[in-house]
Amino acid sequence: MMKPQSEAELAEVVAGANGPLRIVGGGTRDVGRPVEGEELSTSGLSGVTLYEPGALTLVVRAGTPLGEVEAVLAGEGQRLAFEPMDHRGLLGTSGEPTIGGAVAANVSGPRRVQAGACRDFLLGVRFVDGAGRVVANGGRVMKNVTGYDLVKLMAGSWGSLGVLSELSFKVLAIPQAEATLVGRGLDPEAGVKALSVALGSPFDVSGAAHLCGGAARTQVRIEGLEASVAYRRDRLKELLPGFEAVEGADSAALWAEVRDVAPFAGQAGAVWKVSVRPSDAPGMCKALAEGGLAHQAILDWGGGLVWLLVPETGDGGAAAVRGQVAALGGHATLVRGSAALRNTVPVFQPEVPALAALSRGLRAKFDPRGILNPGLTG
């Protein structure tokens, strides 16, 4: 295992590598096609380099544990608004998730639907590309259109374009209050309809999820100043007959469960993450069931993000799920599955040829020797 202690050392290590590298932050996930390669740990690149609460900006080294980042921010009443998931439960892994891993996977939680994704809060990156060059893009200000936006490109690139060394973020204040309206026993269609009503209201909803199944639960979150939350809670109650309000820590617990896909954590099976048009989600689940794929579903992002738990037999539901996505548009990722399964079905959504050619072209430019997490993304 290699564990550089500085960006310069990281650059040397990558430049001097003579074979594939498996990049590891906290190693809390084991997703993507399993990578054969020497382990390159980013955990030596740790610590906050700059934090200006009054400018809402944080600059941090990529190997910094997410927990540490969150603690530093909480000390000033702030947070990462994109609500990154802790997926140790779901994947049964241990270790400390890093901020670099969250960015490399563009990890965005339930607030995605209102606040945006991890990539939307990422203001700047420094990374070492596959040739060992240190590259900077973006900066630490919220508006920046100086040249091409490689910041977005790096978010969600799964370490296939470069090893992130330093990241800057826009952070936001932790709101004074939060509340969640909870409806019970709705079918997915009615659930998503309720979520759409809430998201189509002027009440600034910051989370909208539906957990399917026997104890179906539909939940809508609002956050902000106390008086404002109380007002919007009451208005939303009028829009969502039968929904009950849950406040404070109880509300937060409901969202941690959705964020971490907790209902699937202890259960066996493969887990898919599917992104579709919200109103298509119930129909998709129905079609999957009718097509013979037994599953459990959690619909986040107003229905736009569908987590599916399916039996890990055969292709782990790949043909059925991808067939649906082909018909509806969107994409599906196999987030949990045995190494054998992940070696046989594409983990990430296969791209159409013209897009695949562009992605291949970019990877060839940034990692000419093909040594960064080779094969991971399919």
Ligand X SMILES: Cc1cc2nc3c(=O)[nH]c(=O)nc-3n(C[C@H](O)[C@H](O)[C@H](O)COP(=O)(O)OP(=O)(O)OC[C@H]3O[C@@H](n4cnc5c(N)ncnc54)[C@H](O)[C@@H]3O)c2cc1C
CA dist list (Å): 115 to 99, 127, 146, 172, 253:
18, 26, 24, 10, 19
Residue 255 interacts with ligand X (CB under 6 A): yes or no: no
In the complex, minimum distance from the CB of residue 308 to ligand X, in angstroms, rounded to a whole number: 13
One-letter amino acid for residue 224 of the chain = G
Comparison of 100 and 224: residue with beta carbon closer to ligand X? 100
**What is the DSSP code string of 21-51?**
EEEESS-----SSPPPSEEEE-TTS-SEEEE
Residue 91 in 3-state DSSP?
helix
Residue 23 binding target from another protein, ligand X, none, CB below 5 to 8 Å by type? ligand X
Residues numbered 61 to 90 that lie near another protein (CB under 8 A) are 77
Window 254-293: contact mask with another protein (x via CB under 8 A) = ---------------------xxxxx--------------
In the complex, minimum distance from the CB of residue 170 to another protein, in angstroms, rounded to a whole number: 9
Residue 159 interacts with ligand X (CB under 6 A): yes or no: yes
Q: Which two tokens stand for residue 294?
A: 């037994």
Residues numbered 329 to 358 that lie near ligand X (CB under 6 A) are 333, 335
**Tell me, what DSSP letter sits at residue 236?**
H
Window 121-160: contact mask with another protein (x via CB under 8 A) = --------x---xxxxx-xxxxxxxxxxxxxxx-xxx--x
Helices (H), the chain: 7-16, 66-74, 88-91, 99-104, 112-115, 118-121, 150-154, 188-199, 226-239, 248-259, 281-290, 318-328, 339-344, 353-366
| Residue written as token pair 């399993």 | 34
CA dist list (Å): 147 to 117, 129, 364:
22, 18, 21
- Residue from the set 4, 7, 11, 84 that interacts with ligand X by CB under 6 A: 84
- Residue from the set 67, 359, 369, 375 that interacts with another protein by CB under 8 A: 359
In the complex, minimum distance from the CB of residue 20 to another protein, in angstroms, rounded to a whole number: 19
CB 120 within 8 A of CB 156: no
Dihedral Cα 207, 211, 212, 217, nearest 10 deg: -90
In the complex, minimum distance from the CB of residue 163 to ligand X, in angstroms, rounded to a whole number: 4
User: Which residues have a Cβ under 8 Å from the Cβ of 160 and sit 6 or more positions away?
Assistant: 363, 367, 372, 373, 376, 377
Residue 247 interacts with another protein (CB under 8 A): yes or no: no
Residues numbered 211 to 240 that lie near another protein (CB under 8 A) are 225, 227-228, 231-232, 235
- Residue from the set 14, 17, 125, 158 that interacts with ligand X by CB under 6 A: 158
In the complex, the residues that contact ligand X under the rule CB under 6 A are: 23-29, 31-32, 42, 62, 84-85, 87, 95, 97-98, 100-102, 104-105, 107-109, 158-159, 163-164, 273, 333, 335, 373, 376
